[in-house]
Amino acid sequence: MSKSGNTNHSETLVQSALSEAIGSAPPSAGKFKIRVNSLIPDRPTTFDTFIMINGRMVLYLRAGDKLSGNKIAHLQRADVFYVPDEQRAFFKRYIFDRMNEAELDVKTKANVLRESSMTLAEEIFEKEDVNEALADSKELITNFVEFMEQEPAAMSHLVGLSSHDFYTYNHSLDVAIYSLGLGQVAGYSGDDLQELGRGALFHDIGKRHVKAEIICKQGPLDDVEWAQMQKHPQYGLKVLNEHGASEAMKACCFEHHESFLGNGYPQQLPGNEIHPMARIVAITDTYDALTTKRSYNEPMSPIAAVEFLSSKLAAKYDPNLLRALNSILFKIKPAV
């Protein structure tokens, strides 16, 4: 090996030791995630797409390259690609154009919207800065509200796309989508629907202040852990108060564990005093929990979950909203 080669090699070693010591940026720095399913078959991309291989970012598609439907289906196991932050506007435009294609059916549009929103929701929940998270949530929820306004059948397709995963961002996104559906049947529209969607998205934000061991515990919580967990509505209210969230959003967060029986937490409010939007989140939160797969229990099917809610748990919830949930999930004529 030449002298200069040795020098370069030792410089590299020194550099890597230094970056280890001072903490180097992760390989995904400067890039945002997109789901593989966000790519449109046989359509040239308008942005560069990277893939992570053994902890290194590798350019997979250059802007203008395209993938076949088969290849996208095959790549689903890879789950995420990465796009440079500076090309975010190109990616948004690519999704926007897809959502506005006249010939595309509602079901595919619902899928495109949900796939592109999953990574946005994940980003929102990874943000330390709550102000930024709250601001970014407007765009996320607006996309859904606009889709629902354009396509009367939007919700019946969206509710079928739940990932049934237990990650906070999946749960929160699913609760937001179900809440928008219930809210629409209950007569909300425009800004009100948007506030409901954002309130539902952040209903569990107080869990940021509950210890991770409790949040991630696989199995039932003991009394001390349960008492901690039950504080998340108060913690959430404090966070949302500090960041100027609306009264409706705060109610969705602070009152989503109240019960029509008056024995919920933290305030034991009687049913008629529970904020109407919080009543919606109370139902959609439980429905999502029942249908979500966890390591220690099997998820219920949608029909079993609704039956359970409408029988064993019925007294805890607004009866009109329970009927509305049924109508959305099983496309029965709205009951509210």
Binding site for Fe ion (CB under 5 A): 204, 285
Cis peptide before 266, with omega less than 30 degrees from 0?
yes
CA distance 107 to 87: 27
- Radius of gyration over every alpha carbon of the chain, rounded to an integer in angstroms: 22
CA distance 22 to 215: 31
Nearer to Fe ion, 255 or 285 (CB): 285
Helix residue ranges, H only, 57-160? 69-75, 88-99, 106-126, 130-150, 154-158
Q: Which residue type is seen at 29?
A: A
Q: ∠ CA(245), CA(144), CA(301), 5° rounding?
A: 100
Distances (CA, A) of 117 to 111, 120, 142, 247: 10, 5, 11, 25
Q: Give the nearer residue to Fe ion in terms of CB position, either 151 or 285.
A: 285
Q: Which is nearer to Fe ion, 48 or 204 (CB)?
A: 204
> Which of 73, 70, 74, 45 minimizes the C-alpha distance to 60?
45
Minimum distance between the CB of residue 54 and Fe ion, rounded to whole angstroms?
A: 36
CB of 280 to Fe ion, least distance (A): 13
Element holding 60 (H helix, E strand)? strand 56-61
Q: Kindly state the smallest distance separating residue 266's Cβ from Fe ion, in Å.
A: 11
**How near is the Cβ of 40 to Fe ion at its closest, in Å?**
33
Give the side-chain half-sphere CA count within 13 A for 68. Answer: 3
Give the residue with the Cβ less far from Fe ion, 156 or 259: 259
Residue 52: phi, psi to the nearest 5? -95, 120
Question: What's the DSSP call for residue 297?
Answer: B
CB 79 to Fe ion: min, Å: 24
Minimum distance of Fe ion from residue 225's CB (angstroms): 15
What is the smallest separation between the CB atom of 316 and Fe ion, expressed in angstroms? 14
User: Min. distance of Cβ 204 from Fe ion in angstroms?
Assistant: 4
* 99 or 237: CB nearest Fe ion: 237
Closer to Fe ion by CB, 146 or 225: give it: 225
Q: β-strand 56-61 against 80-84: which pairing, if any? A: unpaired
Of 185 and 290, nearer to Fe ion (C-beta) is: 290
The number of helix segments (H) and strand segments (E) in the chain equals 15, 4
- In this complex, which beta carbon is closest to Fe ion, that of residue 158 or of residue 201? 201
Report the alpha-carbon distance of residue 133 to residue 126 in Å, rounded: 9
CB of 262 to Fe ion, least distance (A): 18
CB 281 within 8 A of CB 199: yes
**CA dist., res. 326 & res. 310, Å (int):** 9
Q: Which is nearer to Fe ion, 122 or 285 (CB)?
A: 285
- Residue 318 and residue 125: Cα distance in Å, rounded? 29
